[in-house]
Structure 1
Amino acid sequence: MCGICCVVSLSVQHTTGGFFKDDLLCNLRRRGPNSSQHLIKTVSDLSYQCLFSGHILHLRGLMTPQPLTDIDNSVFLWNGEVFNGIHVGTAENDTEVMFHHLSSCSSETDILSLFSSVQGPWSFIYYQASRHYLWFGRDYFGRRSLLWQFNNELDRALCLSSVSALSESDNQWQEVPASGVYKIDLKACAISESLVLTFYPWKYQSRENAIEETFLSGLDQISKDLPAYVSLTMSESKLSLITPVVPLNRTVPETSVDSHCRNITNSTVTVEDLHRFLAEEHKKKLVQQLIDVLSEAVKRRVLYLFRDTGQLTGEIPSMPTKKAHVAILFSGGIDSMLIATLADRHIPSEEPIDLLNVAFMIKEQTIQSKQKKQHELHSCQECCKKLDTTIVDNFSCFNVPDRITGRAGLEELETINPSRTWNFVEINVTLEELKRMRQQRIRHLVYPLDTVLDDSIGCAVWFASRGEGFITTQGDVKPYKSSAKVVLTGIGADEQLAGYSRHRVCFKKYGLEGLNKELGMELARISSRNLGRDDRIIGDHGKEARFPFLDEDVVSFLNSLPVSEKADLTLPRGIGEKLLLRLAAKELGLTASTILPKRAMQFGSRIAKMENSKEKASDKCSRLQSVSVD
């Protein structure tokens, strides 16, 4: 994982340094703490200049500083992971492999074919020196952040960067849309003194006639957010990338699907209800297919990293244990529990796994009432019976819903594999620290997103992925800081398996056809709503976010199924949403966590209750827009 940046000026009179400020450099270095390098390319006869800046977080193969250059003077910046599609040897670095392939490309078609083949998250910047082309873009889901900023005052300058610095000028940063990849002909732009972007959209291979429709809708959407002096066009050959996943199956059964659990009510949901579904041979086969494809996705994400096996944890001198290389954003809910269970299959048995559980301080006046209503936090009595005895009195003001379910989830994992060291990291955040770190760090990372929901999720994920908290070992509570460079997150499960409350609302109003439309929209907008933001947030700690539920093979498998096989929203909360996932968890030996209802992170961690509980999620957040007086 890296911080990458490129500044282009179509005039050698205005240097790229005017764009490359110290605060931007600082933000990039936090993402890539292991190596930082810069390279400037000036083409005087064509009057353009490019600055390339690469900042490396070393995760696999040999340490490979960026920018990379070749004998043709081409330049490559890569922030990604090749998990499949292109062979990368165990000891190889995927940046070098990708650059080698790019240097061998002889046409635009070859370049587009290469990026169509890559499975895994990526953003890139590639200067093709022989043709004066600058290529850049993000993967289909937008799992890696890339922003752009245009500046007409500096002769149509452009800055591309993994992360921004807050700008007080009119030249605002925007996320590069993950709708395709882009090319700038620097020679042509320098001659014409205009900035033209050529757009190559994603399209499904099986829908040859859909390219015009795909392009036109994407072109209009992107163009409306660009400055007037920047134009977007399609290549004359109408080339495109091939979407790495199959189209969504929108089949709706002619008759209602029979269920063995039609008599379930909200008060009677039990783990046994899932067992009855698994008695169906067809359903059991689908569950096993999901387990297989998701297990392989987790395997790729926990093994493709450098392990310095000789080192011990340095955080707690009194605990001479091996250090964790993988952490999981962990609430004890079905998504994080399933990821943890599958990670346990593939991570070396002697290596700990960090379970990062964040909680925001409950207001004093609400603690007593919360304790009286503790049973309302859970849908199953089985879970509650375990939890009363595990609450740490010293931290009672942090006993938020996700802390309670997280502890219960830890017990389940310890039952499945008692020999594994599971570091349940209790990350406790006060209002004072929240305000301080939002001002110093978080608001810069959430930007250019700006809603109350972005603030809540951004802050929760930032503190969780920082990994600073406490662990309890043999009854002793000790400070702990996670050493893991890889952070697994469950994002993508709700979007594909109808996990959100809005999916139930949609289903009640419009049935399965409406639900299909909603789920199709979820993945289409996940890059702009979630993934760029989360990549910037987690990357700020010199860590890499990895998303097993958004593995291309996982998405293709789920897309191939009709929605009626993935969820049954006629059933109550805690079983109907993400039904297929719950059945997989039950098959893997999980118990009470399999029937926990979906609870959004902002509510489970209680950050949504800390400052202004009357706000709407879609409101612009004034706390993100505030400017420090320091």
Structure 2
Amino acid sequence: MCGICCSVTLSIEHGKYDFLHKNLLHNLKRRGPNSSQQVLKTDIDYHCLFSGHVLHLRGLLTPQPIEDEKGNVFLWNGEIFGGIFVGTEDNDTQIMFNHLSSFNKESEILSLFSSVHGPWAFIYYQASSNCVWFGRDYFGRRSLLWHFSNTEKGFCLASVGTKAAGVVNEWQEVPACGIFKIDLKSSSISKHMVLTLYPWKYISKENTVEEVDKSLDQIPGDLPKFVSVELNEARLCLKTPVVPLNTKFRKDTFTSDHSSHIPATIENLQVFLKDEHMKKTVHQLIHVLSEAVKKRVLCLSRTESVSLNDDHSKASAKKANIAILFSGGIDSMVIASLADRHVPFDEPIDLLNVAFMTKEKVGHATFTNKSDKLKKHLQENIKRLDITTDNIQDQNFNVPDRLTGRAGLKELKAINPLRMWNFVEINVSLEELQRMRQHQISHLVQPLDTVLDDSIGCAVWFASRGVGCAMKEDKMKPYQSSAKVVLTGIGADEQLAGYSRHRVRFKTHGLEGLSKELEMELGRISSRNLGRDDRVISDHGKEARFPFLDENVVSFLNSLSILEKADLTLPRGIGEKLILRLAALELGLTASTVLPKRAMQFGSKIAKLENNNEKASDKCSRLQELSSE
């Protein structure tokens, strides 16, 4: 994880335009605490200031920006998990730069970025052509923002923005629709900046012109007048790293009689595993998802492990390298159980569980779902695992995710009692929420600005910070997670019909409508979720990793029929994310396999903490007020 930035000033005879406000540098350094440096490139028509801030995770520490003898400069915020060979001791930044420095053709650059499996955002100054290349990966798993000066003097690219005074125009997320190139010399001379786009496309399709043109639809319509975006003349493209979504419906997919009347129980879920095709498909998912988790928990530097002969006290003194955003729901439970397979046996795993102070001490009544059936179902699952509200240390934080999180901890301990699971209870008061939103979180959420963005952004920021309490020596003690890698379950709901809106779509438009909805979900995940989550988590000098958005996982799920992934004729707790629930059963999980989807903003109780009358899609007044200060 890194904080990368490039500030370009055109028409330099008018004097330097200062984009790198001290607040921006501060925000970038928080992302990359291990190394910071800058490189200035000057020309008669422009100058570029490159700023790199590195979080060291694997290989040799490689300060950024890096520059070669030709004058090329490279900034890389990414992880190579496949597609390009990276040795155990190698640094992927240097490997990417070595490739780029040897290229002379545009097609070579596109081929390189088409090959990378893993999250990335980059900025590359190609000295021979006076061009700056930049972009984000296909899913937009790494944040990159752009900002154009209102006086036609230049632009800035950065991992995170700032609320600095004097910056008039708002920052915007760079669309994850391809990679861009700007000819700096031409822009300076013409006083018009052309962003040349090289979009993603499915290589297997015969006629791709129409699809490529649609990439321009993702470009913001409110760019300054002196900025325009055009497809490259040669119509060169990046190869999409995943296969297209399967929109065919298998007629022989297993379904059970009277499915809508089946109660959401483990016993009824197990019936689906009697079908041989379903069971085979489930095991294929477990394999591909396990490999995705394996890459993400092992691709980082570790201190030497404790030997088998060392006693448990030495092992218990070790610090966790891996943390999981953990609610006890199906997504985080599956990730935790798979991480347990691959994280060294003597290394703890931190389970980060966030709760916001409730207004009343109301026991089980904190389950305020509109559906009584859902509320009853949640309570029954908590009861089954013998988790009561009495053993919650502070009743003010007796929220749904705290209860299911503790229940999930019991399940994980049953699967592997030798693993040290650090269940980190992160309790946030209204006072602290408001203080940290104003001080730090608001600029991370922006340019997104809805009530939903505020709720999720704040919840993820406090959770990933990892400051709370954990059980140590049979006592609750203050604890701060040391893990630099944070795993999150985002991507599961979008691919496996986990949201309530998917049921609405299915009821009104059937399988075809649901298919289009799922295709849209994955297509917009970069602008709706991932940039924000990357900025929020990275603010702690930590890296977000997304196993459900691994290219191989997405390709596998895209290859399946919708009915092999979800069956929304079945009740909540079974039908949504059906294949993942079955995988959880095969992994040895129990009650968590039939927990209905509960969004983080409701499970953590942040959604109704400040204003009960807001809608998720409303502009968040709290963010807007802060942005104007």
TM-score band w.r.t. shorter chain: over 0.9
Q: Structure 1 residue 392: deviation in Å? A: 3.4
Contact 1:156–1:195 at 8 Å: present in 2 too?
Answer: no
Paired position in structure 2 for 1:125: 123
Q: Structure 1 residue 13: deviation in Å? A: 2.8
Contact 2:244–2:559 at 8 Å: present in 1 too?
Answer: yes
> For 1:97-124, what per-residue CA distance to the aligned partner results, in whole angstroms no more than 9, with x for missing partners?
1101111112000000000000000000
Change (3 A) 1:17 1:510: same
Q: Distance in 2 between matches of 1:558 and 1:82?
A: 21
Change (3 A) 1:247 1:442: same
1:10 lines up with 2:10 in the alignment: yes
**5+ residue gaps, structure 1:** 312-316
Q: Distance in 2 between matches of 1:563 and 1:172?
A: 40
Paired position in structure 2 for 1:34: 34
Give the SS at the match of 1:423: strand
Paired position in structure 2 for 1:544: 543
Contact 2:51–2:65 at 8 Å: present in 1 too?
Answer: yes
1:358 lines up with 2:354 in the alignment: yes
Q: Which amino acid aligns with 1:284?
A: K
Give the SS at the match of 2:28: helix
Q: Distance in 1 between matches of 2:304 and 2:407?
A: 30
Q: Which amino acid aligns with 1:259?
A: T
Give the SS at the match of 1:607: coil
Superposition map of 1:491-506 within 5 A: 491-506=490-505
> For 1:141-199, what per-residue CA distance to the aligned partner results, in whole angstroms no more than 9, with x for missing partners?
0000000000131x431100000002554311000000000001112212222211100
1:243 lines up with 2:240 in the alignment: yes
2:345 to 340, 349, 356: 349
Segment of structure 1 superposing worse, 186-195 or 298-307 = 186-195
Q: Distance in 2 between matches of 1:559 and 1:368?
A: 39
Paired position in structure 2 for 1:113: 111
Change (3 A) 1:628 1:247: closer
Give the SS at the match of 2:198: strand
Q: Structure 1 residue 519: deviation in Å? A: 0.2
Give the share of equivalent positions with the same residue, in percent.
Answer: 65
Q: Structure 1 residue 15: deviation in Å? A: 5.3
Change (3 A) 1:564 1:369: closer
Paired position in structure 1 for 2:523: 524
Contact 1:146–1:161 at 8 Å: present in 2 too?
Answer: yes
Q: Which amino acid aligns with 1:553?
A: N
> For 1:289-345, what per-residue CA distance to the aligned partner results, in whole angstroms no more than 9, with x for missing partners?
00000000000000000113479xxxxx99961000000000000000000000000
Q: Which amino acid aligns with 2:500?
A: S
Q: Distance in 1 between matches of 2:197 and 2:25?
A: 28
Change (3 A) 1:71 1:377: farther
Q: Distance in 2 between matches of 1:370 and 1:196?
A: 54
Change (3 A) 1:13 1:598: same
Q: Which amino acid aligns with 2:493?
A: D
Superposition map of 1:404-553 within 5 A: 404-553=403-552
Q: Which amino acid aligns with 2:348?
A: P
Q: Structure 1 residue 371: deviation in Å? A: 8.7
Q: Distance in 2 between matches of 1:606 and 1:132?
A: 51
Q: Structure 1 residue 535: deviation in Å? A: 0.1
1:335 lines up with 2:334 in the alignment: no
**5+ residue gaps, structure 2:** 307-312
Q: Which amino acid aligns with 2:66?
A: L
Change (3 A) 1:397 1:566: same
Contact 1:11–1:190 at 8 Å: present in 2 too?
Answer: yes
Paired position in structure 2 for 1:68: 66
Q: Structure 1 residue 474: deviation in Å? A: 4.4
Q: Distance in 1 between matches of 2:16 and 2:352?
A: 40
Paired position in structure 1 for 2:19: 19
> For 1:472-517, what per-residue CA distance to the aligned partner results, in whole angstroms no more than 9, with x for missing partners?
2343110000000000000000000000000000000000000000
Segment of structure 1 superposing worse, 170-179 or 359-368 = 359-368
In angstroms, what is the RMSD of aligned CA positions?
Answer: 2.1
Contact 2:505–2:517 at 8 Å: present in 1 too?
Answer: yes
Give the SS at the match of 1:608: coil
Paired position in structure 2 for 1:603: 602
Contact 2:150–2:168 at 8 Å: present in 1 too?
Answer: no
Give the SS at the match of 1:627: helix
Q: Distance in 1 between matches of 2:256 and 2:278?
A: 12
2:155 to 153, 158, 166: 158
Paired position in structure 1 for 2:98: 100
Paired position in structure 2 for 1:324: 320
Change (3 A) 1:250 1:393: closer
Q: Distance in 2 between matches of 1:192 and 1:629?
A: 34
> For 1:456-480, what per-residue CA distance to the aligned partner results, in whole angstroms no more than 9, with x for missing partners?
0000000000000001234311000
1:290 lines up with 2:274 in the alignment: no
Contact 1:5–1:159 at 8 Å: present in 2 too?
Answer: yes
Q: Which amino acid aligns with 1:304?
A: C
Q: Distance in 2 between matches of 1:377 and 1:131?
A: 65
1:136 to 112, 134, 137: 134
Give the SS at the match of 1:18: coil
Q: Distance in 1 between matches of 2:358 and 2:521?
A: 32
Change (3 A) 1:388 1:417: closer
Q: Distance in 2 between matches of 1:508 and 1:124?
A: 42
Q: Distance in 2 between matches of 1:131 and 1:231?
A: 20
Q: Structure 1 residue 208: deviation in Å? A: 3.5
Q: Distance in 1 between matches of 2:228 and 2:5?
A: 22
Change (3 A) 1:417 1:67: same
Change (3 A) 1:170 1:134: same
Contact 2:4–2:159 at 8 Å: present in 1 too?
Answer: yes
Q: Distance in 1 between matches of 2:346 and 2:14?
A: 56
Contact 2:59–2:91 at 8 Å: present in 1 too?
Answer: yes
Change (3 A) 1:15 1:469: farther
Q: Distance in 1 between matches of 2:17 and 2:303?
A: 37
Q: Which amino acid aligns with 1:392?
A: N
Paired position in structure 2 for 1:314: none
Q: Distance in 2 between matches of 1:372 and 1:566?
A: 29
Q: Distance in 2 between matches of 1:263 and 1:43?
A: 69
Change (3 A) 1:371 1:22: closer
Q: Distance in 1 between matches of 2:110 and 2:186?
A: 21
Q: Distance in 1 between matches of 2:198 and 2:10?
A: 23
